[in-house]
Amino acid sequence: TGLITLDLGYKNTGATLSEITYLDGDVGELYYRGYPIEQIAEKSNFTEVMYLLLHGELPTQEQFAKFDEGIKKYNYVAEEMKKIIDAFPRSAHPMGVLSSLTSALVAFNPKAVDVTSKEDMDHAAEMLIAKFAHLAAWTYRKTKGLSLNHGDNSLNYVENFYRMTFKMPNQQFEINPVVVDALDKLLILHADHEQNCSTSTVRMVGSAHTGLFASVSAGVSALWGPLHGGANQAVIEMLEMIEADGGDVAKYVAKAKNKEDNFRLMGFGHRVYKNFDPRAKIIKKAADDILDALGIDDKALDIAMQLERVALEDDYFVERKLYPNVDFYSGIIYRALGIPTEMFTVMFALGRLPGWISQWKEMRLKGDPIGRPRQVYQGAQKRDYVAMENR
Ligand code: CMC
């Protein structure tokens, strides 16, 4: 009771104390556990980043090996889960399938549901990290009508995911290091971003002491939205639309500025970054390098660069401090790696998974109270019930 502060979209409300990720939106800096994202993206690997986010420190060789082994122990998914996948239509959006499958995992791993000690949480985390890679790969196989591949423990996490996703039956599968390195970098760049919409969702759901898997399933649903992770799919669709319409980027910049029009420049703008998104800088360069290395000439990259140039010189975008965000160039890389558009947000989910888990773990270990925002009521005042025949 008492005075309620109204903060639509929680623009200025801190919901928790956290030690995981720091971002300074005014200068465009991002740190995982204190390490600058530029250093992490260049020097680390996704498995190590998962460890760092979950445990707070970079692992020693021994800690890394134990963590890797812990994940590999669960490098399989119950056979019955395949029946659930079978039941989905092939046209089902992979994010809907992924969210449902993540929730379904609870039924097959009931011991991981209600964990309260740090050890059990870490164990559940390793289990989910392993199984989620299967689910992500399998959503792809489903949309293509392909058989489902199982994990291969001789590979690292990203290679294993890549193989499960793309290996054809009876094929001698080759790992392309350019592709795997690019995937690794993208996953690292998406691994955590403090209290974004999906992470806040995971924390909110988990704050009711809902288990890890179900909380993460809710996070997948939140990420699906086009204002959040779904933007990576929306960006490519927008770039394709502009290309099909003759490539007139100025026309679409004008459209985005027009308040009568609902169109927004997808992949532009961010709640916190008001200078630039440091992840976008790294991804833009990576997109350039990867297309080069794979010998791909993608018109979408040219259109994206033109769009960025025109928008960044336009007063509307300058005044509102709207810059390309992480989703602006990521789709161009995914496409070059052979990942279809409707899978882009699944890739984001795979990357964000360690962030969701770390934030869930932190919240539970710190004993945050149940999330329960207040409201300012604007509805009808007290009135008497009217029987239906008298309405
Ligand atoms: N195109 C055109 N105008 C925009 C855009 C855009 N992409 N983004 C913001 N604006 C305008 C908005 O209309 C508003 O103008 P005005 O002050 O005249 O009303 C002003 O900029 C502030 O925008 P806002 O919607 O109040 O800002 P927000 O912090 O609530 O929203 C955002 C942030 C990311 C949802 C928004 O910028 C957006 O919709 N961007 C496009 C979708 C997108 O790329 N999302 C990915 C976000 S980053 C990665 C992730 O979270 O997954």
Banded model confidence at residue 1, pLDDT cuts 50, 70, 90: low
Percent of the chain at pLDDT exceeding 70: 100
Adjacency order of strands within the sheet including 29-32: 21-24, 29-32, 35-36
CA of 319 to the centre of ligand 1 (A): 13
β-bridge partners, 36: 31
Domains annotated on the chain, with CATH:
62-186+193-225+352-366 (1.10.580.10), 231-336 (1.10.230.10)
Query: What residues does ligand 1 touch, defined as CB less than 6 Å away?
Result: 9, 196, 227-229, 231, 256, 264-271, 320, 322, 325-327
Q: Residue 161: which of 144, 145, 182, 183 has the closest Cα?
A: 183
Residue of the CA atom closest to atom 51 of ligand 1? 228
Banded model confidence at residue 110, pLDDT cuts 50, 70, 90: confident
pLDDT of residue 210: 94
Which residues, other chains included, contact 316 with Cβ-Cβ below 8 Å and sequence gap of 6+? 256, 257, 322
The mean predicted confidence, pLDDT, of the chain is 95
Query: Tokens 């888990």 map to which residue?
Result: 357
pLDDT at residue 112 is higher than 90 = no
31 vs 333: CA distance, rounded Å: 23
Cβ atoms of 280 and 322 closer than 8 Å? no
Cβ atoms of 135 and 98 closer than 8 Å? yes
Banded model confidence at residue 203, pLDDT cuts 50, 70, 90: very high
128-139 per-position pLDDT tens digit: 999 999 999 999
Percent of the chain at pLDDT exceeding 90: 93
CA of 193 to the centre of ligand 1 (A): 17
> Could you give the 3-state DSSP secondary structure of residue 231?
helix
* CB neighbour class for 38 (10 Å; exposed up to 12, middle 13-18, buried from 19): middle
Banded model confidence at residue 170, pLDDT cuts 50, 70, 90: confident
> Could you give the 3-state DSSP secondary structure of residue 36?
strand
64 vs 355: CA distance, rounded Å: 18
pLDDT of residue 3: 87
101 vs 138: CA distance, rounded Å: 10
pLDDT of residue 171: 86
351 vs 368: CA distance, rounded Å: 25
Angle CA(79)–CA(80)–CA(82) in degrees, nearest 5? 75
User: Given the CA of residue 9, which atom of ligand 1 is nearest to it?
Assistant: 30
ipTM above 0.95 for this complex = yes
CA of 322 to the centre of ligand 1 (A): 8
**161 to 73, 100, 103: CA distances (angstroms):** 15, 19, 20
* pLDDT (average), residues 158-186: 94
* pLDDT (average), residues 233-256: 95
Phi first, then psi: give them for residue 148, nearest 5 degrees.
-95, 130
pLDDT of residue 111: 81
48-93 per-position pLDDT tens digit: 999 999 999 999 999 999 999 999 999 999 999 999 999 999 999 9
pLDDT at residue 35 is higher than 80 = yes
Residue of the CA atom closest to atom 24 of ligand 1? 271
pLDDT of residue 114: 78
β-bridge partners, 31: 22, 36
134 vs 125: CA distance, rounded Å: 15
**Residue whose CB lies within 8 A of the most ligand 1 atoms, among 270, 323, 352, for a mutation test:** 270
CA of 277 to the centre of ligand 1 (A): 13
* pLDDT (average), residues 337-357: 96
Residue 342, Cβ neighbours under 10 Å: how many? Answer: 17
pLDDT at residue 376 is higher than 70 = yes
**Residue whose CB lies within 8 A of the most ligand 1 atoms, among 255, 264, 317, for a mutation test:** 264
* pLDDT (average), residues 194-201: 98
* CB neighbour class for 49 (10 Å; exposed up to 12, middle 13-18, buried from 19): buried
Q: Per the structure block, which two tokens stand in for 390?
A: 């008298």
> Could you give the 3-state DSSP secondary structure of residue 370?
coil
pLDDT at residue 113 is higher than 90 = no
pLDDT at residue 8 is higher than 70 = yes
H or E stretch covering 184: helix 177-190
Show which residues are catalytic: 270, 327
CA of 26 to the centre of ligand 1 (A): 16
Cβ atoms of 269 and 328 closer than 8 Å? no
**Residue whose CB lies within 8 A of the most ligand 1 atoms, among 236, 271, 308, for a mutation test:** 271
* pLDDT (average), residues 35-56: 98
